[in-house]
Amino acid sequence: MPKIQIIENADDKAIAEWFAQRLRAALSLTSDEIAVTVPGGSTPFPIFDLLAKMNLPWHRIAVWPGDDRIVEEEHPASNVGKIRARLEPVGAQIVPLTEDAQPPHFAVAWLGMGGDGHVASLFPNTDPKVNDRHAVRRLTPDPLPPEAPFDRVSLTIPSLLDSDEIMFVIRGAEKRAVLDGAIRGEHDLPVARLLGAARHKVTCFC
């Protein structure tokens, strides 16, 4: 398991500034575009709103959702639709996640985590593998989350690990306890599998 940096009590502005700094650092290393993957759910969207106001060369940044609900983009449950609404107007290239997608190498893989230890849409019942030969999988959470009862499409652990660094934004004592248990090797939930296979920088905002 890599060395994991825990940053506590960071507000949305501090997280947005940190992420923007990592984007600038990645862009400084190449004249080409870079790609990042970002989460859905409720936590990241206020941070995206702050990022959209920052002076970044968004035209050189491709943004991939780490997972999505299999609904039309116009549906309120669509991650890519909400990401597009915030970041496409400032010039970012928004890439919908499909079952046959070929994800690139990511400068940063930004992840959330559920109280059951799922990352992206790799829920415990889907038994995600660190050596999955698929880059993307269609999955059905069990139980289906009542707030979003849809099948999902998700990057797999190898796709998420194909990145220069990983960041988590996790809110709440229950989720923090699951994360701490993963770091200590106390369970085999999806987040523990991902962290156990990671070999690069991991930053967790808690």
Contact 110, 81 (CB under 8 A): no
Is omega for the bond preceding 143 within 30 degrees of 0, making it cis?
Answer: yes
Using CA atoms, how far apart are residues 63 and 76, in angstroms rounded to an integer?
19
Q: Which helix (H) or strand (E) holds 27?
A: helix 12-28
Using CA atoms, how far apart are residues 96 and 174, in angstroms rounded to an integer?
31
Q: Quick check: 1 pLDDT over 80?
A: no
C-beta atoms surrounding 116 within 10 Å: 17
Q: Quick check: 2 pLDDT over 80?
A: no
CATH number at residue 125: 3.40.50.1360
How does pLDDT run across 48-101, given as a tens digit for each residue? 999 999 999 999 999 999 999 999 999 999 999 999 999 999 999 999 999 999
Give how many domains the chain has, as a whole number. Answer: 1
Burial zone of 7 (CB within 10 Å; 0-12 exposed, 13-18 middle, 19+ buried): middle
Using CA atoms, how far apart are residues 67 and 176, in angstroms rounded to an integer?
21
DSSP string computed for 50-95: HHHTS---GGGEEEEESEEESS-TTSTT-HHHHHHHHHTTTTPEE-
For the chain, give the mean pLDDT: 95
Look at residues 21, 51, 28 and name the one whose alpha carbon lies nearest to residue 38. Answer: 51
Q: Quick check: 184 pLDDT over 80?
A: yes
C-beta atoms surrounding 191 within 10 Å: 26
**Which residue range forms the structural domain that includes residue 67?**
4-205
Residues 6+ apart with CB under 8 A from 70: 138, 150, 151, 152, 153
**What pLDDT shows up at residue 146?**
83
How does pLDDT run across 112-155, given as a tens digit for each residue? 999 999 999 999 999 999 999 999 999 998 888 888 889 999 99
